[in-house]
Amino acid sequence: MVLSSFAAYGAGKAALNQLTRNLAGEFAPYVRVNAIIVGGVATQGLEVVLTNDELRAEFEANTPMGRPGTPQDIACAALYLASPASAWVTGKLLHVDGGCERPARDVPVARVRATAAAGDPG
């Protein structure tokens, strides 16, 4: 997925994802290292979207599961990774995101315009 104005965010996420994989290889078989990739969860951070009927409808329409996640959804994923059920799982990125492959709503951002040459006013 490529989104405008998300370069730093994307680079940070990619680095954490690769770090998870690399640490898993370094610490196995003694320690398992996995990550949970979280989608839009009904917490205070998403309150501005969930308390606005128009924004919430857009969010839910663009989320395949049709609802925001809950803290319990994330806790269940963490419980799985901490349990014997995942004893042979390491270096994995567990997506708990309602099926989203991109942000569930568009965020308006100013686009950066590159100029052809230094000093070009236009």
9 among known catalytic residues: yes
Query: Per the structure block, which two tokens stand in for 34?
Result: 């996995």
Catalytic-labelled residue, pool 9, 19, 31, 65: 9
Query: Per the structure block, which two tokens stand in for 113?
Result: 């315009």
* Cα–Cα distance, 6 to 71 (Å, whole number): 25
Cβ atoms within 10 A of the Cβ of 27, count?
13
Closest CA to 95 of 77, 68, 75, 81: 77
**Which residue numbers are catalytic?**
9
